Amino acid sequence: MKILILCTGNSCRSQMAHGFLQSFDDKQEVYSAGTQASGKLNQKAVEVMKEIGIDISHHTSDSIDMYLNDVWDYVITVCGGANESCPTFTGKVKNRLHIGFDDPSDAKGTEEYIHSEFIRVRDEIQKAFLDFYNTKIKEHE
């Protein structure tokens, strides 16, 4: 199964989803990219993933352009901006899904509050992508 996860910046939500899918089953080919890739990972996303034992620090923030000509079983958008841009994706895609999440990078307030927002979104991503994995991937193996 070859899966591409899209977000706008490819620094946070798509990276967490990428990390979770690979942790569920390392035989999956999972990639993530951004419609306007930032070129770097959000360090708070790396931190909250590490807290639960998933290391995404080696991931790269890549432009969607790298993947336009590939064949995909699933292309999944995780934020509104990427979902709106998704129709411009010209790759060969068997299934398109949108599973949206708030951007914890937008959180304002104390360090504790910001950290709690990253944890909240991380946990929502984990739940949604575990459900996706169990219903769309695992049952079709």
**Residue in 7, 33, 54, 121 annotated catalytic:** 7
φ, ψ of residue 84 in degrees (nearest 5): -65, -30
7 a catalytic residue = yes
- Going 93 to 84 to 78 to 34, the CA torsion angle's sign is positive
The tokens 């035989």 sit on which residue?
A: 27
Residue 110 in contact with residue 117, Cβ under 8 Å? no
Of 79, 99, 125, 137, catalytic: 79
CB 84 within 8 A of CB 53: no
Distance CA 45, CA 122 (A): 8
Catalytic pick among 46, 82, 86, 99: 86
- Please, which residues bridge with residue 32 across strands? 5
Q: Tell me which residues are annotated as active site.
A: 7, 79, 86
